[in-house]
Amino acid sequence: MSLGKQGIRAVKWSAIATVARFVMQFAAQIILARILGPENYGIFGIGLVVLTLTNVFSNFGFGWSLLHRKVVTEEDVRFAFTWQVIVGSTATLVLFLLAPVLAEFFHEPRVEPVIRWLSLACVISAVSSPAGNLMHRDLNFKAAGLIQIGGYVAGYLLVGVPMALLGYGVDSLVAAWLVQVSFISVGSFIAHPHSYRPLFRYEGGGVAMRTGGTVFFTNVVNWCLGSMDRFLLSKLANAHAVGVYSVGANLATMPATLLVSSLQPAFTAAGSKMQDDPSRMRNVYLQIFSTVWVLLLPVFVALSISAFDIVKLLYGDKWIDTGWVLAIMFLSVPSVVCLGLSTPVLWNFGRKKHESMLQLPILALGAVGFYYSIPYGVNAFALMAAVLVTIRAALVCFSVFHLLKVGFAPVGSALLRGILLSIVAGLCAWLGGYGLSSFGSAGARVMGSGLLSMTVLALVVYLKPDIIGIHAIAMITRFSPKLGNKLTGKVLAQP
């Protein structure tokens, strides 16, 4: 099977797994949020902020380094596995011992047992990292996707929701997380077994250490930029505010997180085999960039218009404070996706340090911005977070443009097309919701808004496909040749 066909097949399996995980995650989050309320979600959110930082240390980057090697030997795998276990175990021990100190730092004693239990996830995730990255390297996204789905079913649907219904509160979220991580770890071992014999030093260890160090430094910068808002909010606000913010931000970025987590490894693995063919990579990247801004942005603009009705419909009136958070964060989703799918290009073309170095100045801007946003509440935090991720995406994308010698014309064309379609989508979403406002039902308004905006967008694209551009059509053709060829035919037939 050719690399192109293998890559498309991998992405299709990733898409299937992404949709399945999205549906389950969406349903579980709604049920758990309605049962547990903002307070419990806030306590768990504080523990999760600490865990994600610790995971940066526990994963370090040894497993990730396997994904970028042209050839992987048994020694490479043994070395990566050995040091992942060492670093992950150390992170678990340190986090477990520091739990009381961290609880005092956040002025929330209820978070101490949460942090201690979540510390186990560090070593569990670190142990399975090499196997997971090897599956991604082989483009075996069928197995990886099924394991992810199984983990979510086991963790949240079979453990988390029943425990919440039985009144276990925040413990149900902790248990769900640990079961999910454990399932994925065991499943990865079974799907891609490898040697577990320790190897502390070997000839290629220096390269692996340097790559791991670069990944680690990049991940630290990304954590600071991506979690600074929640960290400061956890420190300076109460658990209720953290819960309101976390649920809104999670719901908005859930599709982006799932898309990036499923597509980024496939793009990275395929891109590592196109390092000697920059023109091919340029064409693929332009297709991805155009698709994100021409087709994805209008959808999330429409969703942003309906944010308050979506919150009321899904979570109920006690979560209504998260409406503005959701509306703002929806608008940042294309930037999140574009950022996540641009960084593999830098890594594959020898610019491993560019991602972190480009974003370092934003750390200072973000720290100052979030600090002065505190008096204005979670809405100001959401706005600052959206602005920061947009700036980050712009810097990384422009670096990729320069690296691949992408001109302004295709980039400007994609952005202009996306803005025009977003105006149409936003206006239709508002009209659809406004037209059904007399019914007084959030569900009716969401349905009317979504149906009108998506129907009009679909008609515009079908009747005048050249409005989305040749790169977006090319990406559609990759996944749906019949539809893509029909759109291409319409473009060619136009005078």
Tell me what pLDDT residue 15 has: 63
Segment 20-40 shows an average pLDDT of 81
Name residues whose C-beta falls within 8 Å of residue 424's C-beta, 6 or more positions apart in sequence: 298, 453, 456, 457, 460
pLDDT-based confidence at residue 1 (cuts at 50, 70, 90): very low
Tell me what pLDDT residue 5 has: 54
| CA 223 – CA 217 distance, rounded (Å) | 10
pLDDT-based confidence at residue 175 (cuts at 50, 70, 90): very high
| CA 428 – CA 267 distance, rounded (Å) | 34
Write down the pTM of the prediction: 0.73
Do residues 331 and 300 lie in contact, with contact meaning Cβ atoms separated by under 8 Å? Answer: yes
Q: Which of 165-169, 269-273, 392-396, 430-434 has the lowest mean pLDDT?
A: 269-273
Residue 423: count other Cβ atoms within 10 Å of its Cβ. Answer: 12
pLDDT-based confidence at residue 101 (cuts at 50, 70, 90): very high
State what percent of residues in the chain have pLDDT above 90: 18
Segment 308-325 shows an average pLDDT of 88
Residue 358 in this model has a pLDDT that exceeds 90 = no
Q: How far is CA 53 from CA 148, 235, 245, 395, 452, in A?
A: 22, 15, 19, 24, 42
Q: What is the pLDDT of residues 183-193, one digit of tens each?
A: 988 888 887 77
Read off the DSSP letter of residue 44.
Answer: H
Residue 319 in this model has a pLDDT that exceeds 50 = yes
Residue 355 in this model has a pLDDT that exceeds 90 = no
Tokens of 401: 């443009």
Tell me what pLDDT residue 114 has: 92
| CA 315 – CA 250 distance, rounded (Å) | 13
Segment 223-231 shows an average pLDDT of 77
Q: What is the pLDDT of residues 388-413, one digit of tens each?
A: 889 988 988 888 888 888 888 888 99
pLDDT-based confidence at residue 42 (cuts at 50, 70, 90): confident
Read off the DSSP letter of residue 319.
Answer: G
Q: How far is CA 359 from CA 55, 225, 230, 392, in A?
A: 20, 8, 19, 6
Tell me what pLDDT residue 417 has: 93
Work out the end-to-end distance of the chain between its first and last CA atoms, rounded to an integer number of angstroms. 39
Tell me what pLDDT residue 3 has: 45
Provide DSSP, 118-179.
HTHHHHHHHHHHHHHHHHHHTT-HHHHHHHHHHHHIIIIIIIIHHHHHTT-THHHHHHHHHH
Do residues 357 and 395 lie in contact, with contact meaning Cβ atoms separated by under 8 Å? Answer: no
Q: What residue has token string 């991604």?
A: 136
**Packed helices 378-404 and 278-291: angle between N→C axes, nearest 10 degrees:** 150
Segment 6-21 shows an average pLDDT of 63
Name residues whose C-beta falls within 8 Å of residue 256's C-beta, 6 or more positions apart in sequence: 333, 336, 337, 340
Segment 195-211 shows an average pLDDT of 70
pLDDT-based confidence at residue 63 (cuts at 50, 70, 90): low
Largest CA distance in the chain: 72
Do residues 165 and 35 lie in contact, with contact meaning Cβ atoms separated by under 8 Å? Answer: yes
The residue that leads in pLDDT, 417 or 6, is 417
Nearest to 332 by CA among 374, 303, 289, 375: 303
Q: What residue has token string 């693995």?
A: 269
Q: Is 199 helix (H, G, I), strand (E, B) or coil?
A: coil
pLDDT-based confidence at residue 47 (cuts at 50, 70, 90): confident
Query: pLDDT averaged over the chain?
Result: 80
| CA 477 – CA 495 distance, rounded (Å) | 22
Give the range with max mean pLDDT: 39-48, 144-153, 286-295, 422-431. Answer: 422-431
